[in-house]
Structure 1
Amino acid sequence: MKILYSFSFFLASVLSFPAFAQTATDLWVVETSGKSGKFKILPETAYALTNRPEYDNQPSFINEYQMVFSAADENDNFDIIVYNFNSKKFTNMSRTSDRNENSPMITDCGMYISAVVSEPDKKQRVWLYPLTFEPAELLYDDIEPVGYYDWYDNKAAMFVLGEPNHLVYARGRNDILTIDSAVARAIIKRPKTSEITYLSTDEFRDVGGQKAFMLKSFDIESAERSEYYFGVPGSQDFIWLDKNYLLMASGNNIYKRKYTETNWELVGTINSDTHQNITRMAYSEDLEILVVAMDRK
């Protein structure tokens, strides 16, 4: 049964392990113009989609008009929320009191919303939530604790916590490929390629006392490794606009660059008296909007 989302309860953040603790966040929407290298944001159009003292975070578009995100209530219980930009309505995809759902996104097959679930016994594993609202299914029972992930060829590339942490790709049940061991929290497939991209915490440069991490790539098909220069200083979050252009943020500023270039270009600033520090982002080319998570002041 679909349960309508109420602003009296849910909203979300990053996963619950100490390394990535967060403050209260809301989701903001800003219109955009241009594609690829001509991409800009229109700051005067920015507005708060959510506005509560709890957490709204980890936005991800699942089709041309719907987005999912994680949401927590006043008891720090996290669930998956669907927002429809056509109807302007929120719907609960999950409503569980004994577990937390984080990092929701559409699977490659388009039949499920996947999420990292913090289970009652404290395990963190990837589960699948059918779009038909049938019961969720556990995907990888032997891979945990998972932090962040993305999809390629209906299989997951996952940031697995440990000593050390590892970025792995599950080619099969007994065929787990280790990609790297020094990775930041964003694990993103480069569009229209077989590359898994991430920021390396081992390779960085110091810029004004902040770390700019190296953007790295691993090609699942060819096993080739590439480096795409440094990220924005102080940021661990990035997205791909398309195959060639990246977005990152620092404070309330949003930057883009072509993956083969070194310099970041400012595309706009979201000014707010109530919110600051953009982290997670999600872009819809169909709607020409960018959704960002921002800390409450």
Structure 2
Amino acid sequence: MRKFIFLACVFLAISFTSSFAQTAFDLVVVKTEGKGKNLKIVPGSERLLTDRDAYDNQPSFINEYQMVFSAADEDGNHDIIVYNFESEKFTNLTKTADRSEFSPSITECGQYIAAVVMESDGTQRIWLYPTNFGEPELLYDDIEPVGYYDWYDNKAAMFILGDPNQLVYAQSRGNILMLDENIGRSIKRRPRTDQITYLSQDGPKEFPEGSAFELRAYDMKGKNRSTLGLALPGSGDFIWLDKNTLLMGRGNQVFSRKWNENTWNEIGKISIDSHQNITRMAYSPDLDVLVLVMERINQ
């Protein structure tokens, strides 16, 4: 078992009310049973992991029992927070007044927590925060503005904000490969493959539930694109449970489908009256836990 020891700086901001002017989101934890295409949400197991009128979002598991996410403090700055499912404690990995950290994830080498950092001048680049408490390092000084990313071969595939948005891959310094453009914010490597997957915003199909975007895959070895069918109508965020199974949320429901099939199947519904609209998700097969981001309802 890999184990990271983080600074023992208690996450006091969890109890504060943020003045940051944006929609408030919380993290909801549900238990699951089964694996892959047989995964189901255990009815009645949902609970609020965070519960405050602020921004708690972008969860990502970094090992068997620890998760990182981005959270706004009482001044509206966004820090990287670690939650330990064993100790049930929150810990600040960062607490920075001059910048905000978003979209944290573990690097493939396991030595850093990466994040999209909005620097003091508004520049958005990927920074690396060592797990041994060393000074943070800038990953690519000349690639910005980065919105989202994922990893392949210890390098980043990145959503670059623009008109249109682009998906690029840092093959090497000075060799930036453009994979696609006009993409959505979800960028995920398909497990145990050479594919970077994402949603294309070109020509969505319309359904009563909303727009359905095409799921595309770029093969990093073959240097070619392919189509993996349509995403869930009315949803723009997805994760892979494994090589073969996709997961998406809409409203208070969670759906899955096999990568080569067209039908989305509901695997459970979240019954929390104070929250709605599932967006991002993170899954731990070791803990049999699904973490969902849900919007707070103004009451």
Sort the TM-score into its range (normalised by shorter chain): over 0.9
- 3-state SS of 1:37 partner: helix
Partners of 2:189 and 2:22 in 1: how far apart? 24
State which of 9, 18, 22 in structure 2 corresponds to 1:3. 9
Runs of 4+ residues over 4 Å off in structure 1: none
Residue of structure 2 in register with 1:293 after alignment:
293
By how many angstroms is 1:148 displaced? 0.4
Determine if contact 1:10/1:77 at 8 Å carries over to the other structure.
no
Aligned to 1:215: 215
The residue aligned with 2:51 is: 51
Q: Deviations over 1:173-227 (max 9, x none)?
A: 1110001111001000000111000000003100016210000000111112111
Give secondary structure in 2 for the equivalent of 1:248: strand
CA distance in 1, matches of 2:184, 2:122: 22
1:171–1:177 CA contact under 8 A, matched in 2:
yes
Distance in 2 (CA, whole Å) between partners of 1:157 and 1:22 is 28
- 1:89-128 matches, within 5 Å, as 89-128=89-128
Q: Matched residue of 2:162: which SS?
A: coil
Aligned residue number for residue 16 of structure 1: none
Which residue is equivalent to 2:4?
Answer: none
Pairing 1:281–2:288 present = no
Where does structure 1 lack aligned partners over 5 or more consecutive residues?
Answer: 14-20
Q: Secondary structure at the match of 1:273?
A: coil
Question: Per the alignment, in what secondary structure is the counterpart of residue 44 of structure 2?
Answer: helix
Q: Deviations over 1:120-178 (max 9, x none)?
A: 11100000000112111000000000000000110000000123221000010111000
Cα deviations across residues 71-115 of structure 1 (Å, max 9, x unaligned)?
002322100000000011111000000000000000000000000
The answer to whether the Cα contact below 8 Å between 2:101 and 2:118 also exists between their aligned partners in 1 is yes
TM-score calculated relative to the size of structure 1:
0.95
Out of 229-238 and 97-106, give the one that drifted further: 229-238
Cα distance in structure 2, aligned partners of 1:149 and 1:9: 30
Structure 2 CA distance, aligned partners of 1:76 and 1:160?
Answer: 24
- Tell me: CA distance 1:288–1:10, structure 2 relative to 1, closer, same or farther (3 Å): farther
Structure 2 residue runs of 5 or longer lacking an equivalent are 1-6
What is the TM-score when the length of structure 2 is the normalising length? Answer: 0.94
CA distance in 1, matches of 2:174, 2:16: 41
Q: Classify the secondary structure of the residue corresponding to 1:43.
A: coil
Task: Count the aligned residue pairs.
Answer: 289
The CA distance in 1 between the partners of 2:283 and 2:240, in whole Å, is 9
Which has the larger displacement, 218-227 or 265-274?
A: 218-227
Q: Which amino acid aligns with 2:168?
A: V
Question: Deviation per CA, 1:254-290, whole angstroms, max 9, x where unpaired?
Answer: 0000010001000000011101110010000000000
Distance between the aligned counterparts of 2:263 and 2:203, measured in 1?
17
Equivalent residue letter for 2:11:
Y
**Aligned 1:168-187 pairs, distance under 5 A:** 168-187=168-187
Contact 1:170 1:177 in 2 (8 A): yes
Q: Deviation at 1:247? A: 0.2
Is 1:159 aligned to 2:159, yes or no?
yes
Percentage identity across paired residues of the two chains: 58
Superposition pairs of residues 216-235 of structure 1, within 5 angstroms: 216-235=216-235
Change (3 A) 1:222 1:142: same
Aligned to 1:18: none
